[in-house]
Amino acid sequence: MGSQLEVGVVAGAHGLRGAVRIRLYDPNSDALTIGRWVELVRGESSLGRFEVRSAAPVPGDTGRVRVELAGVGDRDAAEMLRGAAVKIEREALTALAPDEFYVADTIGRRVIDGAGRELGTVVGVTSNGAQDLLEIRFRDRRGRAQTWLLPVLPVYIRDVDTTGVRVELPDGMLPEELIGPDDAP
């Protein structure tokens, strides 16, 4: 797991003086604090490192933060940052307990059940308002890409490491296309 953690994305400009709206992947995150440095990245290209000058929740818009970044002085400059990933150095964040993981670390990892069967790859994280959900993409029997959602709950996710996301799922949780002959009732 790299030295940086992606904590959100620039959703657009906020006002005329260069502030940006950032959608945090974890609405309760305190990652964007005054004085913290963030790197904005689009694709493989860094748009630069910026110091957070101010950060405040956007009223009525859970998980969005209005942020002023040093060096971004007007709306046009802020608009140029739209869609950029917001990354923070891991060592700047609160240390995790041994049984904790950053949800962002699951993106790109294979999902594997207790039998060692691959159930797809995590391609994103979303929320239903009550909990985070992993978006898992797999190929159906016809070779078409399909997606299923897995709640980010300890009862389902047993471990996250560099080899994948290990899960333990109850009957009925998997899409029909992923149910093998051994899983049939």
The per-residue pLDDT for range 135-175, each reduced to its tens digit, is 999 998 888 999 999 999 989 999 998 889 999 988 888 88
Residue keyed to tokens 């016809």: 142
What's the CATH class of domain 4-92? mainly beta
DSSP state of 29: -
Q: Domain segments of the chain: what residues?
A: 4-92, 103-183
The per-residue pLDDT for range 52-110, each reduced to its tens digit, is 999 999 888 777 899 999 999 999 999 999 999 999 998 888 788 888 888 878 888 99
Contact between residue 25 and residue 125 where contact means Cβ atoms under 8 Å apart: yes
Question: Domain 103-183, what architecture?
Answer: Roll (2.30)
Q: How confident is the model at residue 28 (pLDDT cuts 50, 70, 90)?
A: confident
Domains 4-92 and 103-183 share a fold: no
Give CA–CA dist 47/165, Å, rounded. 31
Q: What is the pTM of this model?
A: 0.68
